[in-house]
Amino acid sequence: MKTCVVIGGGIGGLVTGALLAKEGYKVTVLEKNAIIGGGLQTFKRNGVRFPTGMHIFGGFQEGGNLRKIFAYLGVLDKVTLQPMDANASDVVTMMSTGETYSLPQGKERLITYLSERFPAEKEHIRAYIDRLFELSEEEDLFYLREAPAEHPSHSDDFLGSVDELRDQYITDPKLKALLGYLIPLFGGDPQTTPAYIHALLSTLHINGTFQFVDESQQLAEALADVMEDAGGQVIANEEVVKIKVENHAITKVVTKKGNVYQADSYISDVHPDVLLRIIDPQAFTTAFKTRIQSVPETMSSFKVFVKFKEQAFLYQNHSHFCLSEDDVWPQQLMFVTPPVARQGDFAETMVLIAPMDFSEVKAWEDTRTGHRGEAYERWKQAKTDLVLDRMERLYPDFRNHIDFVFASSPLTIRDYYGNKEGSNYGFQKDSRNLMLSQMSVATKVKNLYLTGQNVNIHGLCGVTLTAIETAEALVGQNAIIRKINKFCPNHP
């Protein structure tokens, strides 16, 4: 049996490990936290469950890429998913005017909806949304098509920025802002984020988004079962602190507890910055290390977690995005009311996410969770109040519905995931210099491969697709894609 050690038990590590387990590998996943899952992990506060980094995601509609992949892995029936409201899956409020748009799912329905509200832009809206879908078609993996033998070439629009794409089609500034509602909350900047990332993300949302019912942790556990059923193991509380390299190959990894693990191949799901800190210094050239350290990170976020009083706040089966152009933080805010089993009319909890730069918490960067001091707690309370003030503009009396509320900051995210500067989505991709953040799944260290959000695109979909690339680097190009498509022959 071939063996593989995976460093980091986030989505990337778990999906890559599960795919390799299906290929006959004995996989050992080493995760530093007490609970596996990375962004899939859920936690409890006062007995109430809250998600950490997985709120909405696409790809699970009939024929969707994630639906096929997780069906192939045998975990689809082990997770409970809820589709968002087809008539209004993403709701967008422009805070400056109070106008709210309830965006329906489905390409044609969305085009009709937007055309009715912006009649002067009717033709442009169709052309723009058609173009988003065309750009998504340039990414074979997104449609689970086999990788071509030749390196694929891409259109100028694919590699250009979001602004360059939008400006070709849309003139109304309000419509431009509305069509870009996903960009800042998913770590992008319209001036620099490559249009293809925006196209893939938008396509996922237009085709329909989903939420986990109760907890996203179920997916992490189900993926761990795939590895364990194949003779592997997934070990929590096992932080890798040293990766030993000899003759350009890893010979062993050592954990904080002093345990040693050896395998034929090694996969890193940790942030490349963490990898460079724990691997032998001679493993990579100084030029490579300097490049990795110079890649800008995506924005972090401030999160507010709310537990409502009983029957106080109506459950919403959509994600709500608030956009504001004024100078007062939070300029953007997204919130969801995560569904629970036998969800009734009222929401149990709400999670609110506002992008935040790491510089806001720099003063406390050398502190640890629970020991950051009073000034930090005061700062956190002030930020929580700003978020709740914003909610009171949407729902007067919002505070009165709250049973308890608490918040997390970019420091929480940094310490929990081991991400540089608490970055939500890893490396920032920049259309002006795509090569800078471009990572290959294979590395100069012969038996080391990379997976996870820094390699290509973040999120459940992006990371899962990259996991296929990583696993195929070990078992052969297209070997897994072919099996997934064979397993799901009836889907387009």
Ligand X SMILES: Cc1cc2nc3c(=O)[nH]c(=O)nc-3n(C[C@H](O)[C@H](O)[C@H](O)COP(=O)(O)OP(=O)(O)OC[C@H]3O[C@@H](n4cnc5c(N)ncnc54)[C@H](O)[C@@H]3O)c2cc1C
**Site of interaction with ligand X (CB under 6 A):** 7-13, 30-33, 38-39, 53-57, 239-240, 269-270, 274, 278, 301, 303, 353, 413, 417-418, 424-425, 452-453, 458-460, 463
The partner residues of 27 in beta bridges, in order of sequence, read 4
Task: Report, in Å, the least distance between residue 387 CB and ligand X.
Answer: 14
Task: Report, in Å, the least distance between residue 127 CB and ligand X.
Answer: 28
Identify whether 104 is preceded by a cis peptide bond (ω within 30 of 0).
no
Closest to ligand X by CB, 303 vs 429, is: 303
Provide Rg for the chain, Cα atoms.
22
Closest to ligand X by CB, 125 vs 240, is: 240
At which residue do the structure tokens 């030749």 appear? Answer: 150
Task: Report, in Å, the least distance between residue 274 CB and ligand X.
Answer: 5
The partner residues of 265 in beta bridges, in order of sequence, read 4
Q: Do residues 200 and 167 make contact, with C-beta atoms less than 8 angstroms apart?
A: no
Closest to ligand X by CB, 118 vs 417, is: 417
Tokens of 186: 């998913």
Task: Report, in Å, the least distance between residue 147 CB and ligand X.
Answer: 21
Q: How many CA atoms lie within 13 A of 124 on its CB side?
A: 16
Tokens of 135: 């750009």
Closest to ligand X by CB, 305 vs 398, is: 305
Task: Report, in Å, the least distance between residue 170 CB and ligand X.
Answer: 26
Task: Report, in Å, the least distance between residue 365 CB and ligand X.
Answer: 17
* Amino acid code (one letter) for 162: V
Number of other CB atoms surrounding residue 141 within 10 Å: 18
Closest to ligand X by CB, 125 vs 467, is: 467
Closest to ligand X by CB, 67 vs 176, is: 67
Cα three-residue angle 391-393-395, rounded to 5 degrees = 65
Task: Report, in Å, the least distance between residue 86 CB and ligand X.
Answer: 19
CA distance 114 to 252: 56
- The residue nearest ligand X at its CB is 10
At which residue do the structure tokens 């939500």 appear? Answer: 424
- The DSSP string of 133-165 is HHHHHT-GGGGTPPPPSSPPP--HHHHSBHHHH
CA 217 to mean position of chain CA atoms: 15
Closest to ligand X by CB, 408 vs 447, is: 408
Q: Do residues 492 and 63 make contact, with C-beta atoms less than 8 angstroms apart?
A: yes
Task: Report, in Å, the least distance between residue 13 CB and ligand X.
Answer: 6
Closest to ligand X by CB, 53 vs 330, is: 53
CA distance 107 to 95: 26
Q: Do residues 397 and 354 make contact, with C-beta atoms less than 8 angstroms apart?
A: no
At which residue do the structure tokens 């556990």 appear? Answer: 221
What is the DSSP secondary structure assignment for residue 42, as one 8-state letter?
A: E
Closest to ligand X by CB, 55 vs 176, is: 55
Task: Report, in Å, the least distance between residue 171 CB and ligand X.
Answer: 31
